[in-house]
């Protein structure tokens, strides 16, 4: 016979409170990082003399959009890159990454992934999955990947062999994506950049930087990456950027990516900002605080589920290089129960029942708890998972740790009610 609902709620609250106490040191560490990240943003805005006149944009082609041009320079400074292109015309991080790959690579070039199989949405871009839509493979780009080591880390010992063939570009995915592996620190990315350049000096290093921005003191372009890309509705959007993505790195490579986004000869000179520049500037200003809170929410998720006996990655208090927290639930029903509980605690669409469903670009059906103000942003506390073994939940976001506490209490009550709160 199940416990009375009130007892279940008290037990859940006690467990979450214990997790808050256990992660206090980690929370203090993440909070202390806000000031230096915010200082970087403020200094960039001051250096570029950001004013209210930069919130407006021009219509049509977007020629001479001063707000967009200043925004690009601010982002370049914050991302520690030579140049950046911040565009609302990028519909997602995947789109920005695809523009970078198609913009720089040419038929006959070789692309080598150093972090194993890329994120699901890049598989059709590369041509690993699907056909007839103009993938890299269909344009004659040769793709290879260096499998991860058994512990999920980059196979540094196999790097020289993998780069024995002429290679135009290596791809590094900073975040774990939907894989059970450590996310890469900026320091490790720097080591990889150094090794790649030592083996092939002309090989370009491209980093998928999604979910990693402002987590570290440095960005990949500060440690040797030639180009990187990501989304504006994740870390850098501060929960208020309405859409968009960015590319950043060496000037000529950023321009090549923009030529893919627009057209050769237009490149970065085209594309209006739709009078939304203020949200992009303001989102960047808010981003250091939002990233810190998302990291604290991840710590809470890790602690709560670790206390229940579930495997989590990374462990509570471990070094983090992105805002994603993985929990191996090992059972599809547990996965759906947790996502339903998180959705019920969302500010938008709390009444919806997240059910597994296909999503464009993904190989497996996904179950998503994403009641966010910006569709797909995951910036408010949310979670998603491919419905495949070993049934790993990927949680991210959270504008304040209190939101994660509320959602976790709901999840614990729901799991306990179903008799699925502990590992088998």
Q: Where are the domains of the chain?
A: 5-36+287-417, 53-284
Name 386's bridge partners: 366
Q: Cα angle vertex 65, ends 60, 68, to 5°?
A: 115
Q: Is the peptide bond before 14 cis (omega within 30 degrees of 0)?
A: no
How confident is the model at residue 1, as a pLDDT?
38
Name 294's bridge partners: none
How confident is the model at residue 120, as a pLDDT?
86
What average pLDDT does the structure give for the chain? Answer: 94
Nearest-10 crossing angle of helices 24-32, 5-22: 50
Quote the pTM value.
0.95
Distances from the Cα of 181 to the Cα of 178, 251, 374, angstroms = 9, 32, 28
How confident is the model at residue 94, as a pLDDT?
96
How confident is the model at residue 361, as a pLDDT?
67
Q: Quote the distance between the C-alpha of residue 32 and its chain's center.
A: 22
How confident is the model at residue 364, as a pLDDT?
74
At 396-420, the pLDDT tens digits run: 999 999 999 999 999 999 999 999 8
Tokens of 310: 């579930």
**What is the distance between the alpha carbons of residues 118 and 145, in angstroms, rounded to a whole number?**
9
How confident is the model at residue 5, as a pLDDT?
77
The closest alpha carbon to 115, from 185, 56, 22, 59, belongs to 185
Q: Cα angle vertex 63, ends 60, 64, to 5°?
A: 130
Question: In the chain, which residues have pLDDT < 70?
Answer: 1-3, 361, 363, 424
How confident is the model at residue 424, as a pLDDT?
60
Tokens of 23: 């992660």
How confident is the model at residue 302, as a pLDDT?
98
Nearest-10 crossing angle of helices 66-78, 34-47: 140
Tokens of 211: 């979910």
Return the CATH number of the domain spanning residue range 53-284: 3.40.640.10
At 12-65, the pLDDT tens digits run: 999 999 999 999 999 999 999 999 999 999 999 999 999 999 999 999 999 989
**What is the distance between the alpha carbons of residues 384 and 336, in angstroms, rounded to a whole number?**
10
Q: Cα angle vertex 147, ends 145, 153, to 5°?
A: 125
| CATH fold label, 5-36+287-417 | 3.90.1150
**What is residue 311's three-state secondary structure?**
strand
Q: Are 399 and 239 in contact (CB under 8 A)?
A: yes
**What is the distance between the alpha carbons of residues 339 and 345, in angstroms, rounded to a whole number?**
10
How confident is the model at residue 319, as a pLDDT?
95
Same fold, 5-36+287-417 and 53-284: no
Q: What are phi and psi of 368, to 5 degrees?
A: -130, 135
Report the length, in residues, of the chain: 424
Tokens 């890049």 locate to 122
Residue 74, CB-side half-sphere exposure with 13 Å CA sphere: 29
Residue 265: CB atoms within 10 A of its CB come to 8
């Amino acid at each position: 016979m199940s416990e009375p609902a009130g007892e279940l709620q008290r037990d859940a609250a006690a467990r979450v409170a214990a997790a808050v106490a256990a992660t206090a040191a980690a929370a203090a560490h993440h909070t202390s990082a806000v000031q230096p990240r915010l200082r970087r943003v403020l200094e960039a805005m001051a250096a570029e003399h950001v004013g209210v006149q930069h919130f407006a944009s021009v219509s049509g082609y977007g020629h001479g959009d001063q707000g967009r041009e200043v925004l690009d320079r601010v982002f370049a400074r914050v991302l520690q890159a030579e140049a950046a292109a911040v565009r609302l015309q990028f519909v997602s991080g995947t789109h920005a990454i695809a523009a970078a790959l198609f913009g720089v690579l040419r038929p006959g070039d070789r692309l080598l992934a150093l972090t194993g199989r890329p994120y699901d949405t890049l598989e059709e871009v590369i041509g690993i999955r699907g056909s007839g839509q103009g993938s890299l493979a269909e344009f004659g780009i040769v793709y290879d990947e260096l499998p991860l080591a058994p512990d999920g880390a980059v196979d540094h010992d196999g790097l020289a062999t993998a780069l024995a063939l002429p290679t135009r570009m290596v791809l590094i995915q900073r975040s774990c994506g939907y894989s059970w592996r450590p996310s890469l620190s900026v320091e490790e990315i720097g080591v990889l950049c150094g090794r790649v350049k030592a083996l092939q000096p002309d090989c370009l290093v491209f980093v998928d930087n999604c979910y990693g921005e402002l987590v570290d003191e440095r960005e990949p372009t500060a440690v040797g990456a030639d180009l990187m890309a990501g989304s504006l509705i994740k870390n850098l959007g501060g929960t208020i950027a309405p859409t968009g993505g960015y590319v950043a790195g060496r000037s000529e490579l950023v321009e090549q990516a923009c030529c893919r986004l627009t057209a050769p000869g237009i490149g970065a000179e085209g594309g209006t900002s739709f009078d939304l520049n203020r949200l992009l500037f303001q989102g960047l200003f808010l981003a250091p605080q939002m990233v810190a809170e998302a990291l604290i929410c991840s710590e809470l998720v890790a602690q709560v589920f670790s206390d229940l006996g579930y495997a989590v990655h990374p462990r509570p208090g471990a070094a983090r290089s992105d805002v994603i927290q993985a929990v191996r639930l090992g059972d599809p029903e547990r996965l759906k129960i947790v996502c339903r509980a998180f959705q019920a605690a969302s500010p938008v669409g709390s009444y919806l029942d997240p059910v597994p469903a296909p999503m464009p670009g993904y190989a497996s059906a996904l179950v998503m708890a994403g009641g966010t103000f910006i569709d797909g942003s995951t910036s408010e506390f949310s979670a998603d998972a491919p419905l495949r073994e070993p049934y790993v939940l990927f949680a991210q976001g959270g504008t304040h740790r209190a939101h994660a506490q509320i959602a976790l209490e709901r999840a614990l009550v729901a799991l306990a009610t179903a008799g699925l709160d502990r590992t088998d």
